[in-house]
Amino acid sequence: MGQSPQRQLMPHAFPERRQRKRNRRIQLHAVVSFSIALLVGIGALLSLPTVIAVDTRLAQAEPVKAPFPVTVDPVNELIVEDPEVEALLDNTHGTLAAASGLASSALAWLANLVASAPLYQQVAGSDLAFVDIKPGYREEEVAYAFGKQLGWNAKEQAAFLRQVNENAPVIEEGHFVPGTYVLSSAASPTYVQELLNDRFAKEIKARYSESNHEVLPIEDVLTIASMLERETRNPAEMRLISGIIWNRLWSGMNLQIDATLQYAKATKASSGSWWPKVVPDDKYIKSSYNTYKYKGLPPGPIANPSTAAVVAALNPKKTDCIFYFHDRKGEMHCTPTYKEHVAMLKKYYGRGK
pLDDT digits (tens, 9 = 90+) for 120-162: 444 455 589 999 999 999 999 999 999 999 999 999 999 999 9
Cα 40 to chain centroid, rounded: 24
In the chain, what are the domain boundaries?
A: 15-46, 52-207, 214-349
pLDDT in tens, 260-274: 999 999 987 765 789
pLDDT averaged per 10 residues, the chain (length 353): 35 41 51 48 42 45 74 94 80 43 45 48 66 97 97 97 97 97 96 98 92 88 98 94 98 97 86 86 95 97 97 96 95 96 93 64
State how far the Cα of 5 lies from the Cα of 232, in Å rounded to an integer. 74
Q: What is the DSSP string of 120-187?
A: HHHHHTTSEEEEEE-TT--HHHHHHHHHHHHT--HHHHHHHHHHHHHSSSP--TT-S--EEEEEETT-
The answer to whether 135 touches 104, Cβ cutoff 8 Å, is yes
The whole model's pTM is what? 0.77
